[in-house]
Chain A
């Protein structure tokens, strides 16, 4: 999980209580995908509304023309400028596209996301999205611009569109001006404790061999550090048979395990529990053994 990309995009967010929650910024791909979804929603809404308007006009005739035009113009304006603002000012602080991808807009300084910020961030879409489209439409429409002008305009404007790729924090121009950024919001479930000692006896029913079957010596527990422990945790949680077997084999070799290893998983669970208890005891005494090379 702590991949290179994950490290690169993680930032600190210190709460008023003084705890750093550590947020992960959304990467450019997720941002683009979220925008694409929003764009599709906007275009579909526009097309459906327009068709509905045309249908009404055909059915009801001239009398309804003016209200229809007003509604269409205001609706289009609202859709273009208000879609993102309304959703991001809401409780989820995310447009539907962002919500689908598990993203959320937050203030960079950890303060509340105010409406001012949301407005500032989304008005800038005018130069990020609509300006390039306008330039293309101009070219398409009346040939107002020749090819060189169009290319120049596009290159210039794409500079803003691609702005998030040019900075560490993946800030859009709008984010920059609003003091916001977009983070990933993962909802995790509380996973079972792998090292839970069934003290009361036979609590986790399915487990065949609780810790008692395997007893490790002090030397065997000192073979690894925290990094390896957490790798082992990952392997156990993924629970892939081949990986379990490989890992069990290499651990048994390293700690010179002489006893029988009938099944990899119970062995690994037992070793994980013992190793964690051992390392956590060290942590309590102020000794964090980072990895196996750490003495």
Chain B
């Protein structure tokens, strides 16, 4: 026991002095001698749990782990020698509370946020490079398929793109109408439009990720169908000689948004493949590891989609020059790629969960 200032303990000492010394039985004195420590620990814990740790002063903070260890040793001892079940149950619950308070949660949330941006996010994206390539290939395959389908038979467009989404754009629309839509200016609701795009896309991305759990199948379908839609639009515009213009219209946010969608798909593929093929690990352990890496990527995806929503809702409506649109798109793509694949490659991800590698 430490000599730290522990008000509770000191208070307890007085009570115990009368009993502890002369207890004829060793077992009775076991409880009598330590009871005050337990109660002091319980009180400290209660205050620390209820309010923030700042409610405790320095001496009390130092006393907390000491009291925790003494409670734990009491528990071991009680299990060995005592048959008082209520006492053991009490010590078990108190030790568990202390354990969870001291070890069970993450400290330094701000440090964690900092590490997310400087190390964990890019490292997690790098760890998923195979899935990212697969996801990108699926998206491209879908795009190609959509393009070819609509090129071969324009009626496919109506089957691929729902009327609300098409909003008048389609094989039968005139080139002027299509062009006008690409450069339509603001109608004053840009912020709301951005917010809508962000929340909608982020929700779809999260769904694509979560569905990966079902052995990847729904994720694959979702990415493919996105690609097919993209391809169908591209064909409609390209057929009217507006391919380049549509490219700029899409790319300004698309380089970020599609990248995010590809990463969400990759995260879904990761959990699906790891559940299906756990390798040397148990299935449960493999799932848990894949889930944690994928979760880091998904937090990043939501951040990327927030950027994409702003670019689409505000940037695209205000920047109507093709070159500028392509410039912004290229710049962002370069930034993301540099950040993910070049930043901090040397430093291995640190911290308690250093398993973001693709082991």
Identify the A interface with B (CB < 8 A). Answer: 1, 13, 15-17, 19, 21-23, 65-67, 69-70, 73-74, 76-77, 80-81, 89, 91-93, 104, 106-108, 110-117, 119-121, 123-127, 130-131, 160, 173, 176-179, 185-191, 193-197, 199-200, 203, 226, 229-230, 233-234, 237, 276-277, 279-280, 283-284
Contacts and interface: CB of A to CB of B under 8 A. Distances in A.
B83 A280 contact: yes
A114 B92 contact: no
Contacts of A199: 19, 22-24, 28
Nearest to A72: B195
Contact of B206 (A22, A116, A126): A126
A199 B21 CA distance: 11
Contacts of A115: 106, 109, 112
A144 to B, nearest CB: 10
A108 B99 contact: no
Interface string B18-47: 110011110110010001001100100000
Interface stretch (B135-143, B231-239, B247-255, B293-301): B293-301
Contacts of B42: 190
User: Shortest 8 CB-CB distances between A and B: which pairs?
Assistant: A177-B291, A179-B288, A120-B295, A126-B210, A69-B192, A120-B291, A77-B199, A191-B86
A65 to B, nearest CB: 8
Contacts of A70: 191-192, 194-195
B89 A188 contact: yes
Interface string B87-98: 101101111110
Given A15-B72, A17-B72, A173-B213, A191 B292 contact: no
19 contacts: A13-B96, A15-B99, A16-B103, A70-B194, A73-B196, A112-B105, A114-B106, A115-B106, A176-B291, A177-B271, A177-B294, A178-B292, A185-B93, A185-B97, A190-B90, A199-B24, A237-B86, A277-B27, A283-B83
Nearest to A197: B28
Q: Which of B18, B104, B207 lies at the interface centre, i.e. has the most chain A CB atoms within 10 A of its CB?
A: B104
Given A19-B76, A23-B96, A187-B97, A120 B213 contact: no
Contacts of B35: 190
Contacts of B106: 89, 112-115
B189 interface: yes
A234 B95 CA distance: 22
Contact of B209 (A1, A21, A123, A277): A123
Nearest to A118: B295
A186 B112 CA distance: 30
Q: Which of A89, A125, A126 lies at the interface centre, i.e. has the most chain B CB atoms within 10 A of its CB?
A: A126
B189 A66 contact: yes
Contact of B28 (A74, A196, A229): A196
B290 A66 contact: no
A13 B19 CA distance: 35
A275 to B, nearest CB: 9
How big is chain B's contact interface, by range?
Answer: 35 or more
- Per DSSP, are chain B's interface residues mostly helix, strand or loop, or mixed? helix
Interface string B276-303: 0000000011011111101110110010
Nearest to A70: B195
B295 A123 contact: yes
Contact of A197 (B25, B214, B302): B25
Interface of B: 18-19, 22-25, 27-28, 31, 35, 38-39, 42, 49, 52, 69, 72, 75-76, 80-87, 89-90, 92-97, 99-100, 103-107, 109, 112, 120, 188-189, 191-192, 194-196, 198-199, 202-203, 206-207, 209-211, 213-214, 271, 284-285, 287-292, 294-296, 298-299, 302, 352-353
A155 B139 CA distance: 29
A119 to B, nearest CB: 4
Contacts of B192: 65-66, 69-70, 73
Contact of B104 (A77, A113, A160, A194): A113
A74 B49 CA distance: 31
Contacts of B271: 177
A127 B99 contact: no
Contact of A117 (B92, B209, B295): B295
A21 B99 contact: yes
Contact of B22 (A77, A92, A111, A200): A200
Given A114-B352, A187-B97, A279-B83, A177 B213 contact: yes
A292 to B, nearest CB: 14
A186 B289 CA distance: 30
Given A106-B100, A185-B97, A119 B195 contact: no
A151 to B, nearest CB: 18
A191 B213 contact: no
B24 A116 contact: no
A35 B253 CA distance: 37
Contacts of B95: 15, 19, 21
A280 B85 contact: no
Q: Which of A22, A74, A193, A277 lies at the interface centre, i.e. has the most chain B CB atoms within 10 A of its CB?
A: A193
Given A117-B295, A119-B299, A177-B271, A200 B18 contact: yes
Given A120-B294, A177-B287, A178-B292, 12 more contacts: A13-B96, A17-B72, A66-B189, A73-B198, A81-B203, A107-B104, A124-B213, A127-B210, A177-B291, A191-B87, A199-B24, A280-B27
B90 A76 contact: no
Given A127-B210, A277-B25, A280-B81, A22 B92 contact: yes
A49 to B, nearest CB: 15
Given A177-B287, A178-B295, A229 B83 contact: yes
B195 A69 contact: yes
Contacts of B19: 199-200, 203
B207 A126 contact: yes
Contacts of B80: 283
